[in-house]
Amino acid sequence: MYLLVALLVRLGINVLALIVIDWLFSSVTIDGFWSFAIGAVVLTLGNAIIKPILAILTLPLIIVTLGLSYFAINVAMLALAEWIAPNFSINGFWTYIGATIVVWLVNVVMHWVLDKVRID
């Protein structure tokens, strides 16, 4: 039950992150509710399942590049969400980089806020 709740919270945070990057970058277009929903589901599941596998497989590369290749995995997760979700496009390399940083920032801030308001 806890895993399901944690995934739903991460899904909500990823929806918020996609809304922020759609608002912030003119070369990111996400049109419609289902584009946000599917994009967030793909991003959430990709980060929960695919990203850890890729991180383990590329661990030596992550260590040698001091984490830069781990950032590339984050960019790839955003690209996967863009590829699968309809009416979701990101144009430009630097937009991918900026959007990945913003998604990371939204996730960090929202997890920090949720940790502050969580009642144990």
pLDDT tens readout for residues 64-120: 999 999 999 999 999 999 999 999 999 999 999 999 999 999 999 999 998 888 765
Q: Are 100 and 74 within 8 A, CB to CB? A: yes
How far is residue 47's CA from residue 96's CA, in Å, rounded to a whole number? 16
- Give me the helices (H) in 1-120, please: 2-24, 33-45, 51-57, 59-64, 68-84, 93-117
Residue linked to tokens 């990709």: 46
pTM score, two decimals? 0.91
